[in-house]
């Protein structure tokens, strides 16, 4: 049975990893489970990008760090995503942030989003990370004429107010270049993609080299608060630490810790990867080189050409974990691909998998340190999550910022909405799922 964060009792080490293209082409190292009592300055729960990146920053600053993950390396989103390196996180565009909080805050947020991409690229270079980084065009495609106008207006605004360059694309231009049907216009930006599972492997290598103690197949099953800190218990050991970082994102079990319970909504996204495209299919679809796409639907489709000439195509998944592998889910996504690329009709679907993305109630991720619970200078709990499906660069940056904040680093601009308040609390889980079903029904009609 697939993991479902709103129903299951937590990630267990026995859950299988995703049957993904990434897992089929790269085997992450096996890291040992915790089998003793340990003490540490910091304990990190969750070993995806957020947790490992926090471990790197803390270990580089000479802190003693222990990281626990419930399953194997890359079990969560970090091993399941599409590998798009996006400048941004959450669901609010820079223009929406500007409308809500003003230009100065929006510029500050832009600095953090661009900082995330820069940190990733810097680490790739500095640590000689092998992550199959490919650069190529990134196209945003409008699914209605109205969205085409809005996309164009927004591109102009981003160029003048935020210095983000892009090239407008007409409907004709898109059709002749890619044979794509159903796109009414778009914009082309600089894009980059990588292999997400190799990325998490590389983060683990670096965290280990910096001296962090990493334990996988070690779910945190109990968290106790003591005068001097926390004791986090796993099935075969425990870690006592002054400070605790929660980096479990959408895979956070229900009723886990009061700082994160009901603070994010896990929603599934699914991906399939085709067989390698033939030369005829490549020419007819215009998919001749590494490039990536995202559309303007609320339930977005995203796709990219992989370095070995396959097409990776993703979109929303099933509402519940038990339905994630249903044939109807695969067919729905496949139909959407054929609608865009009629030349690919009949191509084999070689891999299909799903993962949980963490959606925050107000579409803004949070990197938050809870001093209120414990008092200043005492032990602290911090968390970073709610990236709304945009975390390949940002989750690692969030882990880095969280570590900086917990060490008292004054460089973080705490006035930004990312930092200044905790995640908002959601209504009951059942109500969330009911609302999601309603939204998907609406999208079926409105976003054909």
Ligand X SMILES: Cc1cc2nc3c(=O)[nH]c(=O)nc-3n(C[C@H](O)[C@H](O)[C@H](O)COP(=O)(O)OP(=O)(O)OC[C@H]3O[C@@H](n4cnc5c(N)ncnc54)[C@H](O)[C@@H]3O)c2cc1C
**Cα 221 to Cα 193: distance, rounded to the nearest angstrom:** 35
Among 321, 355, 382, 386, binds ligand X (CB under 6 A): 355
241 is an interface residue for ligand X by CB under 6 A = no
The DSSP letter of residue 424 is P
Residues near 336 by beta carbon (within 8 Å), at least 6 away in sequence: 301, 313, 315
Crossing angle, helix 94-101 and helix 145-162, to 10 degrees? 70
Among 147, 195, 249, 296, binds ligand X (CB under 6 A): 249
The single-letter DSSP state of residue 90 is S
Query: Residue 171 belongs to what H/E stretch?
Result: helix 171-178
Backbone angles phi, psi at 409, to 5 degrees: -75, 120
Exactly one of 391, 417, 423, 432 binds ligand X (CB under 6 A); which one? Answer: 391
Binding range to ligand X, per CB under 6 A, among 113-121, 140-148, 241-249, 327-335: 241-249
Please pick, from the candidates 40, 66, 81, 154, the single residue that binds ligand X as defined by CB under 6 A. Answer: 81
Binding mask 83-102 for ligand X (x = CB under 6 A): xx-x----------------
Contact call for residue 49 and ligand X (CB under 6 A): yes
Task: Name which position in 23, 40, 57, 71 contacts ligand X (CB under 6 A).
Answer: 71
147 binds ligand X (CB under 6 A): no
Q: What is the DSSP string of 302-326?
A: EEEE-TTS-EEEEEE--SSGGGTT-
Number of H helices, E strands in the chain: 11, 16
Candidates 36-44, 69-77, 165-173, 205-213: pick the segment binding ligand X (CB under 6 A). 69-77
The CA distance from 287 to 142, in Å, is 18
Residue 82 binds ligand X, judged by CB under 6 A? yes
Distance of closest approach, residue 147 Cβ to ligand X, in angstroms: 21
Stretch that binds ligand X, among 122-130, 277-285, 337-345, 384-392 (CB under 6 A): 384-392
Stretch touching ligand X by CB under 6 A, among 73-81, 131-139, 223-231, 437-445: 73-81
DSSP notation for 10-53: S--TTSPPP--HHHHH--PPP-PPP-SEEEEEEEEE--SHHHHH
Question: Does the protein bind ligand X through residue 248 (CB under 6 A)?
Answer: yes
Q: In this chain, which stretch among 82-90, 140-148, 207-215, 283-291 interacts with ligand X, using CB under 6 A?
A: 82-90
Angle (nearest 5°) at CA 59 between 55 and 64: 95
Question: Distance between CA atoms of 19 and 295, rounded to whole angstroms?
Answer: 26
**Which residue in 191, 219, 266, 321 binds ligand X (CB under 6 A)?**
219
In the complex, minimum distance from the CB of residue 267 to ligand X, in angstroms, rounded to a whole number: 9
Residue 230, SS3? Answer: strand
Residues 185, 171: Cα–Cα separation, whole Å: 4
Examine residue 191 and tell whether it contacts ligand X (CB under 6 A).
Answer: no
Is the sign of the CA dihedral 126, 129, 131, 134 positive or negative? positive
Indicate whether 387 belongs to the interface with ligand X (CB under 6 A): yes
3-state secondary structure of 397: helix
Distance of closest approach, residue 50 Cβ to ligand X, in angstroms: 4
Question: For ligand X, how many residues bind (rule: CB under 6 A)?
Answer: 43
Q: Outline where 179-326 has alpha helix (H).
A: 196-209, 279-285
One residue of 158, 271, 305, 333 binding ligand X per CB under 6 A? 271
The answer to whether 382 contacts ligand X (rule: CB under 6 A) is: no
Question: Do 185 and 342 contact (CB within 8 A), yes or no?
Answer: no
Per CB under 6 A, which region of 48-56, 282-290, 335-343, 423-431 contacts ligand X? 48-56
The stretch near ligand X (CB under 6 A) out of 100-108, 137-145, 250-258, 415-423 is 250-258
| Contact set for ligand X, span 8-37 (CB under 6 A) | 10-11
Nearest approach in angstroms of CB 121 to ligand X is 14
Site residues, ligand X (CB under 6 A):
10-11, 45-51, 68-71, 75-78, 80-84, 86, 219-220, 247-251, 253, 269, 271, 314, 355-357, 387, 389-392, 395
């Amino acid at each position: 049975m697939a993991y479902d964060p709103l129903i299951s009792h937590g990630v267990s080490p026995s859950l299988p990893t995703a049957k993904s293209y990434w897992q089929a082409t790269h085997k992450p190292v096996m890291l040992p489970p915790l089998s003793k009592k340990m003490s540490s300055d910091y304990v990190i729960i969750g070993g995806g990008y957020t947790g490992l990146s926090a471990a790197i920053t803390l270990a580089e600053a000479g802190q003693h760090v222990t990281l626990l993950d419930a399953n194997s390396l890359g079990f969560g989103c970090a091993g399941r995503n599409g590998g798009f390196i996006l400048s941004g996180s959450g669901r609010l565009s820079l223009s929406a942030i500007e409308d809500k909080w003003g230009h100065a805050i929006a510029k500050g947020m832009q600095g953090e989003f661009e900082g995330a991409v820069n940190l990733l690229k810097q680490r790739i270079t500095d640590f000689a990370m092998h992550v199959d980084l490919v650069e190529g065009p990134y196209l945003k495609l409008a699914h209605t004429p109205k969205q085409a106008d809005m996309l164009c207006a927004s591109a102009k605004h981003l160029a003048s107010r935020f210095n983000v360059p892009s090239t407008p694309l007409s409907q004709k231009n898109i059709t002749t270049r890619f044979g794509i049907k159903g796109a009414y216009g778009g914009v082309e930006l600089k894009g980059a993609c990588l292999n997400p599972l190799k990325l998490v492997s590389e983060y683990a290598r670096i965290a280990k080299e910096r001296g962090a103690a990493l334990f996988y197949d070690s779910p945190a099953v109990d968290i106790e608060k003591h005068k001097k800190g926390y004791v986090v218990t796993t099935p075969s050991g425990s870690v006592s630490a002054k400070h605790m970082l929660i980096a479990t994102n959408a895979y956070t079990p229900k009723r886990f810790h009061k700082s994160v319970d009901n603070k994010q909504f896990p929603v599934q996204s699914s991906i399939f990867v085709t067989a390698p495209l033939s030369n005829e299919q490549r020419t007819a679809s215009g998919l001749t080189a590494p490039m990536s796409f995202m559309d303007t639907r609320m339930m977005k489709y995203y796709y990219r050409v992989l370095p070995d000439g396959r097409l990776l195509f993703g979109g929303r998944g099933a509402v519940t974990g038990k339905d994630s592998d249903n044939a109807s889910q695969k067919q729905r996504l496949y139909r959407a691909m054929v609608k865009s690329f009629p030349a690919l009709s009949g191509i084999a679907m070689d891999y299909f998998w799903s993962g949980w993305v963490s959606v925050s109630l107000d579409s803004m991720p949070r990197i938050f340190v809870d001093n209120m619970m414990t008092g200043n200078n005492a032990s602290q709990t911090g968390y970073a999550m709610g990236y709304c499906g945009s975390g390949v660069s940002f989750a690692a940056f969030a882990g880095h910022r969280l570590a900086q904040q917990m060490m008292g680093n004054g460089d973080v601009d705490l006035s930004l909405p990312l930092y200044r308040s905790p995640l908002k609390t959601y209504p009951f889980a059942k109500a969330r799922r009911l609302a999601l079903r309603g939204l998907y029904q609406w999208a079926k009609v409105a976003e054909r």
